[in-house]
């Protein structure tokens, strides 16, 4: 029995990238999985047996433990979310960046920020734009899909992991994926040869395989920016720089808004917490307010 990862699912076939030899096997599910209405997702790690080594066909025999599952697109075992923003065009919207970060923290994904279009502002200015985020411990890479800058740094961050890109439209997500594409097209070609379909068929989510064992979802994630599943009380825990102050407020049910002797507000006044991050916090708090009966 071999092990591998589903990198594409299409028309009842599952394309499994073998951990042993890096080949892509065209597999079907063992009958009992079909009867049991069992769900297998792109990204899932599976056990499979090879039927024909030359034809690279096989049968999926079992599902290995699934660490995470992302919805829309449905992908299992995502290791990190790469939040792509542009340094300009469109102008960097910090409130939106904080919303993406909130979602990523709430879902407990690892995150990398990719500040693209650095060619429009230069590296120094790009770093300035992200200084607050670097300070609170977020990893940031600076890229230009246009001028081919920072792409090897980005690729290094994608090594040996399954990543999904997310971010507003127009920031360069597709351009970045295309830049990573010599490898991507090889993988896609290999699959499409096997299923012998034209390019105009309905798109299904699939994983792009990089030559450094990185995998990238070919469709952006986090398309819903809805935050109303988060309660007012837990909100602050998803602002990583605020966590250390929470227990130091005078009132232990402090929402860090108009309560007196709030340690978080003090930290904002003293410049330990960035004002714009705190403003985002208040903004999300009031957004959640109407939908949360707890308080």
Ligand X SMILES: Nc1nc2c(ncn2[C@@H]2O[C@H](COP(=O)(O)OP(=O)(O)O)[C@@H](O)[C@H]2O)c(=O)[nH]1
Residues near Mg ion (CB under 5 A): 173-174
Question: Counting contacts by CB under 6 A, is residue 173 touching ligand X?
Answer: yes
- What lies within 8 Å, CB to CB, of 186 at 6+ separation is 209
Residue from 171, 187, 205, 267 binding ligand X (CB under 6 A):
171
**Structural contact between residues 29 and 46, judged by C-beta atoms closer than 8 angstroms:** no
Question: Which of 225, 255, 247 lies closest to 106, judged by CA?
Answer: 225
Minimal distance, residue 103 CB to ligand X, in Å: 17
Q: How far apart are the first and last CA of the chain?
A: 54
Give, as ranges, the residues between 78 and 117 that touch ligand X (CB under 6 A): 116-117
Please pick, from the candidates 112, 249, 274, 288, the single residue that binds Zn ion as defined by CB under 5 A: 249
Please report whether residue 247 would count as binding ligand X according to CB under 6 A: no
Question: Quick one: 46 or 158, whose CB is closer to Mg ion?
Answer: 158
For the record, the structure tokens of 121 come out as 């502002």
Q: Of the two residues 75 and 249, which places its CB atom closer to Zn ion in the complex?
A: 249
Q: Scanning residues 251 to 270, which ones bind Zn ion (CB under 5 A)?
A: 254, 256, 262, 264
Per CB under 5 A, 273 contacts Zn ion: no
Distance (Å, rounded) from C-alpha 14 to C-alpha 61? 12
Q: Which of 93, 143, 151 is nearest to 117 (CA)?
A: 143
Check if the beta carbon of residue 104 is closer than 8 Å to that of residue 92: no
Return the number of the residue (35 or 247) whose C-beta is nearest Zn ion. Answer: 247
**Binding pattern to Zn ion, positions 86-125, x when CB under 5 A?**
----------------------------------------
What sign does the CA torsion over 67, 70, 76, 78 have? negative
Instruction: State the Cα–Cα distance between residues 68 and 42, nearest whole angstrom.
Output: 12
Counting Cα atoms < 13 Å in the Cβ hemisphere of 29 gives 18
Q: Which of 210, 273 has the CB closer to ligand X? A: 210
Q: From the list ligand X, Zn ion, Mg ion, none, pick the one residue 256 interacts with, judged by a Cβ distance below 5 to 8 Å according to partner type.
A: Zn ion
Nearer to Mg ion, 173 or 265 (CB): 173
Nearer to Zn ion, 34 or 261 (CB): 261
CB of 171 to ligand X, least distance (A): 4
Structure tokens, 131: 């200084």
How many other C-beta atoms can be found within 10 angstroms of the C-beta atom of residue 189? 10
Q: Is 198 left (phi over 0), alpha (psi -120 to 50) or beta?
A: beta
Q: Using CB under 5 A, list all residues that contact Zn ion.
A: 249, 254, 256, 262, 264
Could you list the residues that contact ligand X (CB under 6 A)? 116-117, 119-120, 144-146, 169-175
């Amino acid at each position: 029995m071999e092990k591998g990862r589903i990198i594409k699912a299409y028309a009842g076939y599952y394309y499994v990238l073998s951990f042993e030899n890096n080949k892509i096997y065209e597999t079907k599910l063992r009958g009992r999985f079909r009867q049991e209405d069992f769900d297998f997702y792109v990204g899932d790690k599976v056990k499979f047996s090879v039927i024909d080594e030359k034809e690279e066909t096989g049968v999926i025999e079992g599902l290995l433990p699934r660490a995470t599952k992302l919805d829309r697109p449905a992908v299992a075992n995502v290791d990190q979310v790469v939040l792509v923003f542009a340094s300009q065009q469109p102008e960097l919207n910090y409130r939106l960046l904080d919303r993406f970060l909130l979602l990523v923290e709430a879902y407990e994904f690892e995150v990398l920020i990719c500040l693209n279009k650095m060619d429009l502002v230069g590296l120094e200015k790009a770093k300035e734009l992200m200084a607050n985020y670097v300070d609170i411990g977020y990893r940031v890479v600076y890229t230009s899909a246009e001028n081919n800058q920072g792409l090897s740094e980005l690729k290094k961050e994608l090594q040996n992991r399954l990543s999904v890109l997310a971010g507003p439209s127009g920031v360069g997500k597709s351009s970045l994926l295309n830049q990573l594409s010599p490898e991507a097209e090889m993988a896609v070609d290999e699959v499409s040869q096997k299923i012998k379909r034209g390019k105009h068929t309905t798109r299904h989510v699939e994983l792009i395989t990089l030559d450094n064992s990185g995998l990238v979802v070919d469709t952006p994630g986090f398309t819903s920016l809805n935050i109303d599943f988060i309660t007012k009380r837990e909100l602050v825990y998803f602002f990583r720089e605020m966590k250390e102050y929470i227990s130091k407020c005078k009132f232990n049910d402090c929402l860090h808004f108009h309560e007196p002797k709030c340690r978080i507000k003090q930290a904002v006044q003293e410049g330990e917490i960035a004002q714009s991050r705190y403003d985002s916090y208040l903004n999300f708090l009031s957004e959640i307010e109407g939908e949360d009966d707890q308080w």
